[in-house]
Amino acid sequence: MKIWLDGGLQDSETARVSVFDHGLTVGDGIFETVKAAEGRPFALTRHLDRLARSARGLGLPEPDLDEVRRACAAVLDANPMPLGRLRITYTGGYGPLGSDRGEKGPTLVVAVGESARRPDSTAVITVPWTRNERGALTGLKTTSYAENVVALARAREQGASEALFANTVGRLCEGTGSNVFVVLDGEIHTPPVDSGCLAGITRALTVEWTGAKETDLPLDVLDSAEEVFLTSTLRDVQGVHRVDSRELPGAPGPVTAKAMRLFDEQAGDDLDP
Ligand code: PLP
């Protein structure tokens, strides 16, 4: 597998990042996951905009987006696959032990792995832990994902593929790696970004293409919603057939199915060249 590191392609088996890299020692990094079909990245410009936004939020030097673009193209060229997931990681780089960044500057790694289309529906759980809607990292796509790892492990234990968080005031927020939508009286709603959720790219496209409303929602809306669905780069639009012990038979329901169809139709036009 060829990856991009230090300005060029390298073999993933022998590529080296310092053990003092702040991405490793203190989780001082940001990332993007970008879907690529037949070597063509999806919505790359939006992902690069968010990468730059996350870098500013973390106080990292502005990433060289031309290099990131070149790196994505080179990695996709070197590793042909039908459906891939590019992973762009950008960290505070080599530095002293402790939380001060070193002089050497950031580390950029671009890698790709195989991906596969997800099932049309899945099971989710809610977790008792909260997303902080007012934290220093809120809304940034940082590599500090351990809380998501713990929540996802809980979901797996219960036969689910995603765990949903409320925020600190009990409002519905998002999943470990996805945004959440509910259908109420036939209308689609999703929590607003100030709930503390990530401004998901699939979420934004789904809002644009379906006219979904951004609505502040209590967590227990999941007990009564007619339909629930998730959005993310790797799931696209995915129905939910179980929330904790509540079954939603027939998922994806008609509104979700329409959102899935719209997404598939429109997304074909949004592949970056
Ligand atoms: N929320 C979180 C916490 C995520 O990590 C992700 C994606 O990884 C999403 C939402 C969905 O965002 P996107 O649609 O840009 O993949």
pLDDT grade for 125, boundaries at 50, 70 and 90: very high
Residue of 127, 178, 237 to test ligand 1 pocket, by largest number of atoms within 8 Å of CB: 178
Residue of 193, 232, 236 to test ligand 1 pocket, by largest number of atoms within 8 Å of CB: 232
Domain ranges, ordered by start, for the chain? 1-112, 119-267
Q: Does 273 have pLDDT greater than 70?
A: no
- Residue 4 has what pLDDT? 98
CATH architecture of 1-112: 2-Layer Sandwich (3.30)
What are the distances in angstroms from CA 205 to CA 69, 154, 231?
A: 21, 29, 10
Q: Per DSSP, what are the bridge partners of residue 246?
A: 243
Task: Take residue 231 and report the two structure tokens written for it.
Answer: 């959005």
Q: Does 270 have pLDDT greater than 80?
A: no
- Residue 69 has what pLDDT? 98
Q: What is the mean pLDDT of the chain?
A: 96
Query: CB within 8 A of 79, min separation 6: which ones?
Result: 1, 2, 112
Q: What is the DSSP letter of 143?
A: S
Contact in structure between 226 and 187 (CB atoms under 8 Å)? no
The rounded percent of the chain whose pLDDT value lies above 70 is 98
The rounded percent of the chain whose pLDDT value lies above 90 is 93
Number of helical (H) and strand (E) elements in the chain, helices listed first: 6, 15
pLDDT grade for 96, boundaries at 50, 70 and 90: confident
In whole angstroms, what is the distance from residue 212 CA to residue 74 CA? 36
Q: How far, in Å, from the CA of 233 to the mean position of ligand 1?
A: 7
- Residue 271 has what pLDDT? 67
Claim: this prediction has a pTM higher than 0.90: yes
Three-state secondary structure call for residue 230: strand
In whole angstroms, what is the distance from residue 104 CA to residue 95 CA? 7
Give this complex's ipTM: 0.99
List, for residues 128-180, the tens digit of each pLDDT value: 999 999 999 999 999 999 999 999 999 999 999 999 999 999 999 999 999 99
List, for residues 34-55, the tens digit of each pLDDT value: 999 999 999 999 999 999 999 9
Classify 119-267 by CATH class.
alpha beta
- Mean pLDDT for 248-266 is 96
SS3 content of the chain, % helix, strand, coil (to 5): 30, 35, 35
pLDDT grade for 86, boundaries at 50, 70 and 90: very high
Q: What is the DSSP letter of 170?
A: S
As for ligand 1, residues whose beta carbon falls within 6 Å of it are: 33, 174, 177-179, 198, 200-203, 231-233
- Mean pLDDT for 240-248 is 98
Higher-confidence residue: 271 or 61?
61
- Mean pLDDT for 65-71 is 98
